[in-house]
Amino acid sequence: MSDLENENSPKPKLREWDSRPTKIREKSKLSKFAEYSMPIYALISLSVFFIPIKVLDKSEACASFVKFMKGIFPNIEAFEAISAMPQVTAFYVSFMWIWVIVCSALMIYLSFYNMPNIYDLKVFPKGIPAIIFTFFLGYLGTTYYYLGEMATGEISFGLKSFNLYFASKIKMYFWITFFSLWFIAGCGVGSWGLIFTICGFKNLKKY
């Protein structure tokens, strides 16, 4: 077969996963802020070092705020029970919940804002295990911190088990920041499970 025949012979058609043109979206002010939300969160977490030891005794407003937050978030009392500075811990966890929720909402927003062009992908049925796994990770990440389970039992990272105890503000800062990030990450991962579920149902009629 000549080179000319090779050039004119029909070539196999590749499947087009997304036939629609890709639209480059300009970043909104909210998306730009969301990208910097985690460094901002880390800086706000440093506020624990400026909280007075007897903050709830000194401020009735702070005491009322903590009482209100305890009625919503059970991990506040769980952390308070394992702290050498219970008033600091109760106020700190209550205060940081505001920023945890803000950052979680921003992570969910970024997930949908930066959602790739996957509308033409066949998500079901092969993608069902991945979807279930993302929801499972999201559930673990959010409930573990929300319920304060790390404060009510032993913690193990595969090396040695230990019980959590806040003997200093440094330990309080590290562990609460560390575990609260699990909640934020859980919201982000769970939102991707939701995205693939929506796209899966949307594309069922195509296949």
Q: Tokens 């997930």 — which residue? A: 111
Q: Residue 26 gets which letter from DSSP?
A: P
Share of the chain above pLDDT 90, in %: 45
Distances (CA, A) of 54 to 44, 89, 92, 161: 20, 11, 12, 32
DSSP bridge pairs for 155: 162
What confidence tens digit (pLDDT) does each residue in 174-202 have?
999 999 999 998 988 888 787 777 776 66
Both tokens assigned to 59:
């401020």
Torsion of CA 31, 33, 38, 44, to 10 degrees: -150
Above 90 in pLDDT, residue 167? yes
Both tokens assigned to 90:
């109760």
What pLDDT does 20 receive? 44
pTM of the model: 0.77
Please give the average per-residue pLDDT across 21-48, as a whole number: 73
Contact, 174 vs 45, CB < 8 A?
no
State the average pLDDT for the chain.
Answer: 81
What confidence tens digit (pLDDT) does each residue in 110-152 have?
777 766 555 555 666 666 777 788 888 889 889 999 999 999 8
